[in-house]
Every structure is written in structure tokens, then in C-alpha cells.
Chains A and B, each alone.
Chain A
Amino acid sequence: MADTSMPPRAPGWVRRNRQTLAPLLFLLPGVLFFLFYVIFPVIQSFNLSFYRWDGLGEPRYIGVENYVELLDDRAFETSLWNNLKWLLLYLLAIPAGLAIALFLNQTIAGIRLYKSLFFFPFVISQVVVGLVFTWFYDPTFGLLNQILSALGLGTLNVLGDPTLVTYGIIAAGLWPQTAYCMILYLTGLNAVDPEQVEAARLDGAKGVSMLWFVILPQLRPATFIAFVVTIIGALRSFDLISIMTNGGPFGSSRVLSFYMFEKALSEYGFRMGYGAAIAVVLFLIMLVFIAYFLWSMYRDEREGR
């Protein structure tokens, strides 16, 4: 365009540049909101982790002191180990969800309603799931102990035992998470190519070998999403711990997300900087997975279009 010497007349200029202007205007509100409430806070938290701050006075720069303190913090160590347990055991939701999906992938009367009811635990809030399981584990009247003693196995105080408590809470978390994975696999199974299944049957494939070599490869996208949401769910675990044990007994069920909250907003004085340092560690763990997810998405983008 040669007419740059002339000051652009508004309508003409808008008209000519609308392919550039339109996306800008459409993006502006969403991007601004997101920058303000999500992206900048991440950067601020990184910065804050180098300060000592009680949330009221002036923050004081202390370099890496918060991180040095973390190295000797036994509670931090416990939280880190518990996060690892969460990450590994939470993944059980994927095979469990697949198993239930395979069980329910039939056509009998009322199967649709059954499927929805199996999905139920995912819809209710984790706060309610936490309450329900607290009562389920209750040492005096809980259903778990009723069953155990009926079988002559004695009783357990799951939430009062430092060695069992984290596993008890993870089991509660697996309940809704399994339901989620189930619905992903049910949808995936619906789209499995029946011709391939028939062809494989003619070739003599059945049972486990059919599942492994024919069905699971076709369920790859469902498995990927199940993996993503389960990892995120495991690292976000906070509600259940807060409701069921409040980190106890003796802080043995804390995870990083809970410990950070406790440090930053505890009743014994706010330690915002230290809390931010814990959050940064959690963020860095998550970043490994985020990078992997983005990389897989990027690969798919290249393939499509």
C-alpha cells in the first residue's frame, strides 16, 4: 500500500485492517482478565518466594532463604512424599474407570440410567465426598468397620492412623475420579470401529489380547485425557484433605497444596513468602506435566491442518 503518507481516514483504515483489528478486539477482554488474575499472579508468586512477608507490613528481601529453610523442613518432606503417593495411586482411576466402562458397555434395559448413576460421584462436590467418606471410615460407627468386624478382621481407625490416613483419603478421591475416567472410556468405546473388531475376531483375537492390541490403541485419545485430568486432580488435591483430616493426625496427611495454604494463612501468623516458595515447588512439579501436555497438543496441531 502506497498511501501511507496520507493520514488514514478512519472508516477506510478500519475496513482495510479489519482482519488484524477484529481478532485483537475479540481477544482483548479475555486476555486482559486472564493476564491479571492468572499469569501475573504466577510471576508475583515467584517473586514473593524471595521475600519474608506477613501479609501486612513491608515485604523484606531475603534471597533464597525460604528455599534453604524448605530443605530442613520435615513437614515439607512429608508433604512431598504424600504428593508422590497421590500422583501414583491416583492413576489407578484410569484402569478402574476402564474396567467399569467395559462392564457397562452393553445394551440391556435401563443401561443409560445405570451409566448416569455410576457417574454420580463425579458430580457432587469434593466437600460432600469428604464428609461421606469421613463417616464411612468412622471408628465407632463407620460402615467400613462394620464390614470388617462382620468378616472378623477387627477394626481400623483409618483417618486417625498416620500410616494409613493418606491412603484413606486417596481412596476417597479415587471414587469420583474413577467415575470421570469411566465416562471418558464409555464415550471412547462407543466410537471403536466395529469392523476392526469383527476382523480381529475372525483372526482369533479375543479377551485380553483383543483389548490390548485392538481396543486400547483406538482408545488412545480417551486415555490421554484421562491421564491429564487425573494428574491435575492428584496435584490439586486440597478439598478432601481439608475436610477429612485438616492435614492430621500430626500433619501426616498434608500435601504441598495444603501445607502451602496452612503456612500462608495459618492462625499463627501469615508466612506469605514461605507459602509462595512451597507453591513454586508445586508449580515446578506441575510444569513437567504441563510441558508434556502442551507438547502433545502441539504435535497434534502440526498433524491437523
Chain B
Amino acid sequence: MAEPRPDDPVAPPAEPRPAFERASTSVGRTRPREGVAIAAAVGAIAVATGLGWIAEHADLKESVPLIYVVAIVLIASRAGWRVALLGALLAVLANAYFFVPPAFAFPTKPRDLLMALAFLVVALVVGTMTARLHVYALVADRRARHAEALRGAARALARVEREDEVLRVAASRTAAALDGEAHVVVLAADGTVGDGVGPAGAVALPPGEAAAVVEAVGRGAAVHWEEPDTDAAVVASPLAGKGRGFGALVVRRARSQGWNEEGLALVEGMARVVADAYERVRLAGVAQRAELESRTERLRSALLSSVSHDLRTPLAVILGAATHLADRGDDLPLARRTSLAREIEREVDRLNRLVANLLSMTRLDAGAIRPSKEWQPLDDIVGAVAGRSERLLAGRPLVVDVPADLPLVPIDAVLVEQVLINLLDNVAKHTPPGTEVVVRARAPAATEVVVEVLDRGPGLASGEVEAVFERFRRGADSAPGQGVGLGLAVCRGIVHAHGGTLTAANRPDGGAAFRFTLPLDGPPPPDPRRDLADLDEGDAVEGSGT
């Protein structure tokens, strides 16, 4: 683990905050690393003594203290200040014992003692200074990493757009940065505490935590406690946006890890980042709802104004035909009566489609349409639509061009059928009787199937290509009473719900082309058509009538 542990054998450069003193110092310390450091320090002094002995024999006696100072610097830059002090003491003693005459005895002359004392002061100062530098380097490193963790969390959270996702990302980022367990608790509107949200979703709060969270929010400052049964040290840092606090970020670590100032600062920094992100998403949601409401309002008035015309026209035809039949039916020739009844039938079909589209649009707006996709061959649906659209197309020949080996497509059959019916309905509205209509499907890439509805009508006016998909929009050539222009908007909504796109264009050789894609997402299921060929070999045995 790269993260320096707070119990590294170094002194904190500043006084720990009293509130957290207990956590950072009272924890039982097991120090395998300090034992090794002491052994290494003793070894270093021994080596320095050896080198000093060589120097003395090379007539370089004056450099012996320098050798010791180098050893102390080396010890202090690797181990903590306490080991550095030990090394300094050992060095002074060794120097005095081995090198200050009399050799192999401690000096007694005041002058030599004074020298030894001076050397001790130098050794101590050098040792502690070096150890301190080492600590500062560690702290700077740790702070840089914490700053990076905060920036990373802020970046990750900036991409998130849902409130619950903010909380999950926040928990996982915090847990990773602090090497502990983390979750976020958001107070309910009435100030009560429910479940927390961890990296994987909801987590139940251990007993007592809810009260601590409420306290942290109330105080506007981090609350810190220990849990003896789980051997954990916990911090709850309040989340506050522009207004009052709305929750807390809770981080749980092993007691042996404890909490020091940087750890706590990181928790508080994280809490600020999380609060900002949560606030942003929440406000965006509010703004979006307001926008949606005003759009819904505009739509509603557009709908009301078109309803009076476009719904009442077929109703008027139906009422007229029905009353005529009822009042004068006996006097009318059979052919006339039949034609009046068929008139009613046609208008009812139109009303039925209109109602279906209105319902779909409402459900699309509410996000209630979730395609229940199943892998299926497209020709099945195109066939059903072809059978049902004869009355709609009123004699326009329909050419179905769907290759038998088209891959299976994951779609909601009922919805895609509505898309095709609406597109054919649109063709019927805008093309002269008798012109050909083509439904064509192709799989140009392994990732999608493209379906086209092609006509030989007048095509789309320039500038209309995108506008046709707007709600309550009718083509300039539309005859009155031909629907409120919902059909294509519904098509686009359904295709989008499938993850595809719907576009319109003019065909180079005349007519309009509506084209939608259906993505082949996910692994396709095993296609039994491959087995069909094999099975055909066996059909002489069974099912052949012998």
C-alpha cells in the first residue's frame, strides 16, 4: 500500500487536533518496522565505527565524527526521529569509546567530555532535522495524492446525472482514497435517517450511526467515534450545499489505521465535493422538471387546439353517416348503405390509430414505454403489418423486401409494429393513390438492422426533413382531418426507446424515404436457422407421410 500509514514511525509535523488525539495516539501500536529500523541503525553505527577504525589507521582521525554524521543522516532520512536520536546517541558513545583517547574506554578529561557533548548536540540536531525533512516529504506526497483523489472524485462526479449514482460514486471514490469502508447518508425530507448508500447500493446503518449523522449535520462539523466491537474508527463528515446540511459522508477504518489530520481533511474535502455534485444534480433535476412541465403545458394546448378539429372531423363523418343510415336507410339502395357503413369503418380506423398514438405519446413522455425486447426475425412483424395495412393503403401496392437470412433483431414486436403502421399511414396520407410502397430491411453492419419505408409520392419539401417528426406538425400538403401529426413523433419515440434512430430523406429518383435503425445490441442468441439446414436432411425419415 503506497498510502503512508498514520502510524509510520515519524512524528506528525504539527500538533494533532485535540478532538482526534485519542484516535491517532491511543491505538495499540505493533511496530515490526521500528524493530527493523533500530537494528538497521545499530548496524549503520557499527559500520561507521569500522570505517572510522580504517580512517584512523589511514591517519585521517579528524574525519571519524564526519563518518558518524553521515551515518546519522542516512538513518534519519529512512527511519523516524526516534531511531535517529538513538543512532545519534550510539554514535556519540561509540566515538567517545573507540576513538577519543584513551581508546576502549570513555574519556574522563573535561575537554574530551566537552567535545563529546558538542558532538552529541550536532548529532541530535542533524538527526532530528533530517527526520523532519523526511516527514515533510512524506506529508507533501500524501497531500498531493489526496488532492489528486479529490480532483478525481470531482471529475467522476461531474459526469454523473442521477442522484443515487452520485452517492454510489462518492462512496466508492471515498472508500478507495481512504482505504476504508465508506457510505453516504442522506436525510429524508423530515430529517430522519434511512439507509446509507455504499458503492454497491443501499447499506443498513450500524446502531448508533444514525444519531452520529444527525449530530454531525446539526453541528456542521465532523463527528468521530470508535466502535470497540468491530474494532473500527469512524468519521461522519456533514454534507452541506448552499443551505443547511442534508446528510453525511461516513468513513470506517480499522482502529489500527486510525485517523490523522490529513485523513480527516480528505474526508472533509470529499464531503464538500460530494455535496456540490449532489446539489448540482438535484438542482438540474428540479430545472428539468420545470422545463418538462412548461413543455407539457405547451403540448397540451397544442393538443387541445388540434383535437377540436382533427378528432371532430371523423366524428362528424361517423355521425352523419350513421344518422343518415338510421333515418333513411330503408329508402337507400344497398350499395349506398354499404358505402356509408364503410365510411364509418374508415373513420373509426383513423380514430383508433389516433387514440393509439395519443396514448403512446403520453406513455413515451412519462417514460412509461420500456420496450420488452426479444430476439426475433423482422419478417414476422413486417408480415403482420402487411396483412393489417391493406385497408389503410387503399390499393397502393406494398412490396415487402426482407431477406430471409436477415439476422434476428432484439425488439418489442408490438411497438415496432406501431412504427411500421404509422409510417405506412403517413405514406397513405401523402402519396397519390396507386403509387407503390416498399418496406425494405437490410443488415449493412453486424451492429444494426436498417428498415426503410419508401414511397413514390411528391417527397418532402426542403426544410421539412427534420420538422416532420415534431408533434402536431402536419405536412403542407395534408388534407384537413388527417390526424394531428403525432404518428411520426411516436415512431421516433419508439425507435429511440429501442436505441435506434429515425430519419427522413428524399429518394434520388423521386419519393420520400423514412429510415430507422434497430441496434443489434448484446450477444445474439444461437440462431436455430443454422440447424434447420441439417434437420432438413432428416425430414425424409419423419413427417414425410410414409
A binds B: no
